[in-house]
């Protein structure tokens, strides 16, 4: 990838270390990397493996659209992406670079805070970033623009005025961001900005732990973790920087939390008039990072269980397969790129090599050692994967023995989670990180009796309640 070119909507952060909000780190630093175990000699060999698995026509490319539905409403895909953009952003590592040593990873800046504080919505707040706020009403976030009041605020070039540009990467994540802007503005009534911000953050944190993670994680691991939290025996791993601040484990940001990529479908309903548009639909110029045409304003009833009388679309199964749309990402998302670099599956795998991720088997073993009730010798039935038998025998053997973490976790979801939720290893990584975040200071979990507002469903609060509440304004 060329330095300085647009990638994921972000210019590379050369000279941006002042914007560093934390660092990346390893969850399992003493464990050998996948590259060591597999015997990768140089980066070309790593690229070859990434291309076989994640390139166009590779094992992870769902060329025939054969991956089934999960049972998770499609809106959660974009909620998941929105959460990603709240906690992790690496603009420094080189996609085609050499493996980084642990010390270099610990120096790698994360440009988001490892906390569910909605910095992607509030930026650095009204004083430091007044352009995010309505100057006519204190604490109110700007919403809409002259072309569409149901869109993000935008400058005259059409670029969104929001805390993280990635929340304008596709139509649906942009509309998810809008939902949060509106939620804040509704919660502001009768409150100071600070009180409304805290209230919104706590509701959001509740959603992440009690609604979203419960849906996407393996139920046995989720229940185990809830019991451990209640007993004060959580988290099991330690990931803090030298100042004692939480850092962002690459096992999470480069593998486990990229699980949402497999939930993405090629087509989605936008509203009653547009029941199936492409994720990046050229007809409407929605290739990311541009205005939402009024006719495509998203009606969440078609992607979420908001209205009992309305059928809604589900996310694609959580498995090793990627929709074609993500194997051929458009220019605004990845810049001018080679065929392989356009593939998100290839990028995830190669980035995993550069950041020295261990194999799936190694991570499973390490988590079991920490006490997680999981089988670290589980059979992931690789031989049943389409195209597996076309690989050379030696390659098959090595891949099955030392599986790149991202591929392992997605295969685990397909086999052990039946495509409906993540498997135990991916779930444990997610819960470790979100658990550590929520058990740190000023979160709803730290407040003895806090629970969501009764008008939002109280303890039953879900994303659908939020949509109904915002729409009722």
Q: Which among 465, 441, 442 has a CA at the least distance from the CA of 453? A: 465
313 binds ligand HEM (CB under 6 A): no
Q: Minimal distance in Å, beta carbon 369 to ligand HEM? A: 25
463 binds ligand HEM (CB under 6 A): no
Facing residues of 408 across strands?
Answer: none
Among 115, 253, 340, 361, binds ligand HEM (CB under 6 A): 253
90 binds ligand HEM (CB under 6 A): yes
Query: What is the rounded CA–CA span in Å between residue 106 and residue 103?
Result: 5
C-beta of 50 vs 470, nearer to ligand HEM = 50
**Cβ-contact 55, 194 below 8 angstroms:** no
CB under 8 Å to 397, separation ≥6 — which residues? none
CB under 8 Å to 433, separation ≥6 — which residues? 114, 239, 248, 249, 252, 257
C-beta of 28 vs 82, nearer to ligand HEM = 82
C-beta of 293 vs 330, nearer to ligand HEM = 330
C-beta of 215 vs 261, nearer to ligand HEM = 261
Please tell me what DSSP assigns to residue 318.
S
Among 25, 270, 292, 344, binds ligand HEM (CB under 6 A): 344
Query: What is the rounded CA–CA span in Å between residue 170 and residue 104?
Result: 32
182 binds ligand HEM (CB under 6 A): no
84 binds ligand HEM (CB under 6 A): yes
Would you mind telling me the total number of residues written for the chain in this entry?
Answer: 473
261 binds ligand HEM (CB under 6 A): yes
351 binds ligand HEM (CB under 6 A): yes
169 binds ligand HEM (CB under 6 A): yes
80 binds ligand HEM (CB under 6 A): yes
Task: Find the residue with minimal CB distance to ligand HEM.
Answer: 260
- Long-range contacts: 143-146, Cβ < 8 Å, 24+? 143/178, 143/181, 143/182, 143/185, 145/291
C-beta of 170 vs 359, nearer to ligand HEM = 170
Query: What is the rounded CA–CA span in Å between residue 452 and residue 449?
Result: 10
Please tell me what DSSP assigns to residue 139.
T
Question: Per-residue x/- mask for ligand HEM, residues 1 to 40, rule CB under 6 A?
Answer: -------x--------------------------------
What are the φ/ψ torsions at residue 449 (nearest 5 degrees)? -120, 15
Segment contacting ligand HEM by CB under 6 A, of 40-48, 79-87, 190-198, 231-239: 79-87
Among 61, 201, 316, 347, binds ligand HEM (CB under 6 A): 347
Q: Which among 316, 83, 315, 122 has a CA at the least distance from the CA of 206? A: 83
Segment contacting ligand HEM by CB under 6 A, of 80-88, 356-364, 408-416, 431-439: 80-88
**Cβ-contact 362, 37 below 8 angstroms:** yes
Among 260, 269, 291, 423, binds ligand HEM (CB under 6 A): 260
170 binds ligand HEM (CB under 6 A): yes
Number of residues near ligand HEM (by CB under 6 A): 26
333 binds ligand HEM (CB under 6 A): yes
C-beta of 88 vs 359, nearer to ligand HEM = 88
Facing residues of 133 across strands?
Answer: 141
81 binds ligand HEM (CB under 6 A): yes
Segment contacting ligand HEM by CB under 6 A, of 15-23, 99-107, 116-124, 329-337: 329-337
Measured CA to CA in angstroms, residue 27 lies from 99, 251, 373, 428 at distances of 17, 7, 18, 12
Return the structure tokens found at 18.
Answer: 């002042």
Buried b (16+ CB within 10 A) or exposed e, 346-373: bbbbbbbbbbbbbbbbbbbbbbbeeebe
What are the φ/ψ torsions at residue 10 (nearest 5 degrees)? -120, 135
Among 46, 50, 95, 426, binds ligand HEM (CB under 6 A): 95
89 binds ligand HEM (CB under 6 A): yes
Q: What angle do CA 24, 3, 108 make, to 5 degrees?
A: 10
C-beta of 314 vs 456, nearer to ligand HEM = 314
Measured CA to CA in angstroms, residue 202 lies from 446, 450, 468, 472 at distances of 10, 9, 18, 21
Among 259, 322, 461, 469, binds ligand HEM (CB under 6 A): 259
**Cβ-contact 97, 5 below 8 angstroms:** no
406 binds ligand HEM (CB under 6 A): no
Residue ranges binding ligand HEM (CB under 6 A): 8, 77, 80-81, 84, 88-90, 95, 169-170, 253, 257-261, 263-264, 326, 329, 333-334, 344, 347, 351
């Amino acid at each position: 990838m060329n330095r300085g070119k647009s990638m994921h909507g972000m210019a590379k952060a050369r000279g941006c270390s002042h914007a560093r909000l934390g660092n990346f780190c390893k969850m399992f630093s003493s464990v050998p990397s996948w590259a060591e175990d597999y015997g990768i000699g140089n980066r070309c060999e790593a690229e070859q493996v990434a291309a076989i698995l994640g390139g166009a026509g590779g094992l992870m490319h769902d060329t025939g659209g054969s991956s089934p539905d999960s049972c998770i409403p499609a809106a959660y895909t974009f909620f998941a992406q929105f959460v990603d953009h709240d906690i992790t952003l690496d603009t420094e590592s080189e996609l085609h670079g050499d493996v980084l040593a642990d010390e270099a990873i610990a120096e790698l800046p994360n440009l988001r805070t490892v906390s569910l504080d909605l910095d992607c919505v509030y930026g650095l707040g009204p004083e430091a970033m007044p352009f995010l706020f309505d100057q006519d009403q204190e604490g109110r976030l700007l919403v809409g623009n002259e072309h569409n009041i149901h869109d993000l605020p935008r400058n005259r070039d059409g670029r969104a005025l929001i805390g993280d540009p990635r929340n304008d990467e596709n139509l649906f994540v942009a509309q998810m961001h809008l939902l949060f802007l509106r939620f804040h503005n509704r919660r502001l009534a009768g409150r100071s900005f600070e009180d409304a911000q805290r209230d919104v953050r706590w509701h959001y944190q509740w959603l992440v732990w009690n609604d979203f993670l419960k849906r996407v994680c393996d139920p046995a691991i989720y229940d185990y973790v809830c019991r451990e939290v209640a007993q004060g025996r959580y988290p099991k791993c330690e990931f803090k920087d030298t100042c004692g601040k939480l850092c962002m484990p690459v096992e999470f940001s480069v593998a486990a939390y990229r699980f949402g990529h497999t939930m993405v479908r090629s087509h989605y309903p936008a509203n009653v008039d547009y029941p199936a548009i492409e994720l990046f639909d050229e007809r409407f110029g929605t290739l990311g990072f541009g205005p939402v045409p009024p006719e495509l304003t998203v009606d969440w009833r078609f992607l979420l269980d908001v209205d009992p009388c309305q059928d809604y679309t589900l996310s694609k199964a959580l498995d090793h397969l990627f929709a074609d749309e993500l194997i051929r990402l458009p220019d605004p998302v990845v810049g001018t790129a080679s065929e392989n670099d356009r593939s998100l599956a290839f990028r995830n795998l190669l980035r995993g090599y550069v950041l020295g991720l261990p194999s799936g088997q190694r991570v499973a073993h390490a988590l079991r050692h920490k006490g997680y009730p999981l089988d670290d010798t589980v059979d992931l039935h690789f031989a049943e994967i389409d195209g597996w038998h076309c690989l050379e025998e030696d390659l098959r053997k090595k891949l099955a023995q030392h599986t790149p973490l991202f591929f392992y976790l997605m295969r685990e979801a397909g086999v052990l989670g039946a495509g409906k939720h993540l498997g135990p290893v991916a779930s444990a990584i997610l819960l470790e990180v979100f658990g550590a975040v929520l058990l740190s200071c000023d979160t709803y979990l730290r407040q003895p009796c806090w629970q969501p507002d009764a008008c939002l469903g109280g303890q039953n609060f879900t994303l659908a309640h939020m949509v109904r509440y915002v729409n009722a304004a």
